Structure 1
Amino acid sequence: MAQKSAVVIGAGVAGIAVAIRLAVKGYAVHVFEANNYPGGKLSEFTKDGFRFDAGPSLFTMPQYVDELFRLAGKNPQDYFSYQKLDTVCHYFYPDGTRIKSTSDADLLAAEIQTQTGEPAGHVSQYLQNSKRIYGITNHVFLEQSLHRLRTYLSFKTLKSVLQLFQIDAMRTMHRANQSFFRDKRLVQYFDRYATYNGSNPYQAPATLNVIPHLEQHLGAYFPEGGMYSITQKLVELATSLSVKINYNAPVEEILLRDNRATGIKVNGEVIEANIVVSNMDVYPTYKKLLGKRPDLHPQKTLRQERSSSALIFYWGILSRFDDLHLHNIFFSGDYKAEFNAIWKEQTISNDPTVYINISSKLQPGDAPDGCENWFVMINVPANNGQDWDALVNTSRRNVIKKLSSMLGTDIAPLIVSESVLDPRNIEQRTSSYKGSIYGSSSNSQLAAFLRHANRQSKVKNLYFCGGSVHPGGGIPLALLSAKIVADWV
């Protein structure tokens, strides 16, 4: 009997992961990637002696990477190494307050009490609440399809459904955080987790307060070789399983026959397959690759509000800053105004919260001696035709002014190398509609249920993975989307 075949559209981390899983199941898998490199957002580049991870910089839940090696009969420790972070993040506030977040919950609670006066018990109660939400939602919302009857017929699902009133979906994150903490700095500290999936804490449901559990209780990690090593190691694993990755191969069309996916068209050539999986953003998948079948387009899904995007400055810094660590946050003075600018005004606040990732802190070779590689990011709206050239220039000045003030050093003359990524580039390089990083936003109570399913209900053998579909954006959820697809297949 002929071997079954599968084609995967896009070599993002979810696309590579689903290719591995299908290869393990015995499929002959071909991946088609429009760029000349794998990883999608999880890529890298070097410039002027500095190496930068171009996209995601936080690594949590490494077990989902390890699982792929185990499925292939390999010991993940022989192929992929990472370290757990004792210090998770350094936080800087405009009033001079500084908080060092650690992986030890008791030490974190004590640090917060010392720096802000907020009782340590409040922090402990909050983290336990986050853990509880995770326990209720994990098996239903993250590890399985919400669009499959089988999901709702298990004991674990029934148990979770009976506890749904405890996931705090009726309040916003901000309102819930206000009920836990009396100090506004702590409310801002935990409101920030809404940005992990491109949402607004003043609109997103408090169910998203599950996110601190992923970072605090389950841990934050740093992969040996930097974040891009995740892509590299998974590509190596896929190749060892005879997965064929084709670069510079933009897919033109998904081919259908009698409402069954039969393959794709690439550079005018027809590639037949038993299974088609799109790792491309769901919006261009329908509008471009299934453009001939508007009757299949899920109009409500495609009209959903998009997540926020990012403006990133990759700076080579001619100095070292002992106050900074791998992850660093410089908060804005008015968080609500910052989010109003993004979501209501579709622009960028003049006082944005700034995130700096410096991989050379743990991997010195990423920067020349005496230097650091700064990945400097602010949250911005999706691309709706704004004057991005003007916004980038203004934001650059504001970010430099802010960091110089809060660090007590003029950083402008220290920038010896610079590259910029804005929503336009993100959309162009990754096919993310409007440059939104996480697909649709989670600014509604039913957001988890409204994300596109991992399977096309009207077309047999057509599946979806990646950050724009269930269960959501970010490396762990993208990997889980691949798992859901493979299980469904």
Structure 2
Amino acid sequence: MIKRKVLIVGSGIAGMASAIRLVVKGYQVEVFEANSYPGGKLSEIQIGDYRFDAGPSLFTLPEQVDELFRLAGKDPKDYFEYDKLNVACKYFWEDGTRLNAYADLDLFAEEVQSKLGEPATTIRKALRQSAFIYDSLAPLFMNRSLHKLDTWTNPHALKSYLRMGKLGIFSTMDEANQKQFTHPKLVQLFNRYATYNGSNPFETPATLNIIPHLEFNIGAFFPKKGMHDITQSLFKLSEELGVTYHFGQKVDKVLVENGKAKGLRVKGQDHYADLVVNNMDMVNAYKTILKDQKQPKLLLNQPKSSSALIFYWGIKRDFPELDLHNIFFTDNYPLEFEHIFKKGTIYDDPTIYVNITSTHKSDDAPAGCMNWFTMINVPNNQGQDWDQMITEAKRNIIHKLNRILKTDVEPLIEAEEILDPRTIESKTSSAQGALYGNSSNNKFAAFLRHANYSSSIKSLYFCGGSVHPGGGIPLCLLSAKIMSEMIEE
């Protein structure tokens, strides 16, 4: 029996997951990747003796990764292992307040009560609400296509309609958190979850209060070999299953004949197949490999999410007060987001995220040293003077870390690389360097993502962070699942 052939554009996390799912279903799968390595944003950087996970640093819903191995009849532990974190994140403020977000809900509630005076019952109630939103909407928005009628007519959907007023659709995240908590620092802490998909907590709907459920009620995890091991293990599995990869092979065009995708043109050579799957950023795909096809202008013109400015620093000193995930908050959150989303600039007192994998994987830095993945949220690329903005941001970041940690960071930096919105776009084909595709800064954002299939071109499918259900590792993996189930239908 001749196997049906699938060609996939891009080997990001969703592209690899799609390849695994489709080859398990009996398809012959080939993947074309412009870069010389798989993983897209989920890659790594080596600077001398320091190793860094280059992109996503938070790992939730690990069962989405495990499922891919089980589908192939493999034991996930033979390929990929991870630990649950005891502390999800450490939070720091300028006034000296420090807060440990313990994985144990009772410990976290006690920590909040002792440090901020917020009743422990308030935290428990807020996380019950987060679980309620997840249980109500995850089966609808995360696990099914929003572009199929049966999604809206199944029993779970009908049940969700009755809960609509309790799901945060009609208020912003900040408005909901102002009602849930009395202490402004706790409001700020929970508002931060908007940044998990590049949104503004003062505009995005309170539905995004679904995110704390993943981190607190389910848990945050760390792969024993680092985040890049997600890429490595899935790449290994897919190759074992027979997936063929073509690296350094930038796709020129999706071949379309009589309204049907027939294959890909790569470096002037045509490759034919029964199905084509696009894992490239949706906006840039329509600008390049689909430029001759009908354009979904409404979706293409949607505002994009925020981006990131990352300094990969090799720090020649150990800071025992720091953990895997650390947040140094600004004193003026509304003004910071106004700069990002309204002014297209970087606030001079940014919130700083420092990810240090050497706290859990000691060989990521020399003895007595640390690898600091130092990131701030910034606007996407709109032609700003990034060189000047980066210089100013670095100075402000260092001054802020010096104040809070009572140290002098700059002389400790013995290795450095920088990733900004321009290089994010060039390395990952993400439109404007936006990390999560279209922004979620309105209540209709979930409906303004591209479907996992083309409505105008038969046999063309989409996966990845720029299409439904969204960005981030778990949602990218779910996009591959939704797409592969559509192909079977």
TM class by shorter chain equals over 0.9
Equivalence for 2:327: 329
Asked whether 1:464 is paired with 2:462, we answer yes
Whole-angstrom CA distance in 2 between matches of 1:123 and 1:152: 33
Alignment of 1:8-407 (within 5 A): 8-293=8-293, 296-407=294-405
Deviation at 1:282, TM superposition (A): 0.3
Deviation at 1:164, TM superposition (A): 2.2
Deviation at 1:360, TM superposition (A): 0.3
Whole-angstrom CA distance in 1 between matches of 2:25 and 2:150: 21
Q: Secondary structure at the match of 2:175?
A: helix
Match of 1:485 among 468, 483, 486: 483
Deviation at 1:153, TM superposition (A): 3.4
Deviation at 1:366, TM superposition (A): 0.3
Whole-angstrom CA distance in 2 between matches of 1:143 and 1:80: 24
Whole-angstrom CA distance in 1 between matches of 2:219 and 2:245: 32
Write the letter of the residue equivalent to 1:131.
A
Whole-angstrom CA distance in 2 between matches of 1:30 and 1:420: 33
Is this contact kept in 1: 2:451–2:462, CA < 8 A? yes
Whole-angstrom CA distance in 2 between matches of 1:41 and 1:429: 8
Deviation at 1:324, TM superposition (A): 0.1
Write the letter of the residue equivalent to 1:349.
Y
The more displaced of 316-325 and 99-108 is 99-108
Whole-angstrom CA distance in 1 between matches of 2:196 and 2:187: 16
Is this contact kept in 2: 1:14–1:466, CA < 8 A? yes
Deviation at 1:380, TM superposition (A): 0.1
Deviation at 1:157, TM superposition (A): 2.4
Deviation at 1:36, TM superposition (A): 0.2
Deviation at 1:269, TM superposition (A): 0.7
Whole-angstrom CA distance in 1 between matches of 2:447 and 2:286: 20
Q: Secondary structure at the match of 1:472?
A: coil
Deviation at 1:284, TM superposition (A): 1.1
Whole-angstrom CA distance in 2 between matches of 1:22 and 1:304: 31
Q: Pairwise CA RMSD of aligned residues? A: 0.7
% identical equivalent positions: 53
Is this contact kept in 2: 1:136–1:164, CA < 8 A? no
Q: Secondary structure at the match of 1:77?
A: helix
Deviation at 1:94, TM superposition (A): 1.3
Q: Secondary structure at the match of 2:90?
A: strand
Q: Secondary structure at the match of 1:59?
A: coil
Deviations 1:9-65 (A, max 9, x none): 000000000000000010000000000011000000111210000000000000000
Asked whether 1:429 is paired with 2:417, we answer no
Whole-angstrom CA distance in 1 between matches of 2:150 and 2:246: 35
Q: Secondary structure at the match of 2:170?
A: coil
Is this contact kept in 2: 1:174–1:201, CA < 8 A? yes
Deviation at 1:110, TM superposition (A): 0.8
Deviation at 1:75, TM superposition (A): 1.2
Structure 1 gaps of 5+ residues are none
Deviations 1:81-100 (A, max 9, x none): 00000111100011111000
Whole-angstrom CA distance in 1 between matches of 2:240 and 2:117: 54
Deviation at 1:150, TM superposition (A): 2.5
Deviations 1:135-192 (A, max 9, x none): 1000000001000122233222222233222211110000110001111101100000
Is this contact kept in 1: 2:94–2:403, CA < 8 A? no
Whole-angstrom CA distance in 2 between matches of 1:450 and 1:383: 21
Deviation at 1:277, TM superposition (A): 0.5
Is this contact kept in 2: 1:58–1:220, CA < 8 A? yes
Deviation at 1:5, TM superposition (A): 0.3
Write the letter of the residue equivalent to 1:48.
G
Whole-angstrom CA distance in 2 between matches of 1:239 and 1:460: 28
Whole-angstrom CA distance in 2 between matches of 1:301 and 1:61: 28
Whole-angstrom CA distance in 2 between matches of 1:162 and 1:249: 49
Deviations 1:314-336 (A, max 9, x none): 00000000110000000001001
Write the letter of the residue equivalent to 1:256.
V
Matched residue count? 487
Q: Secondary structure at the match of 1:344?
A: helix
Whole-angstrom CA distance in 2 between matches of 1:168 and 1:232: 38
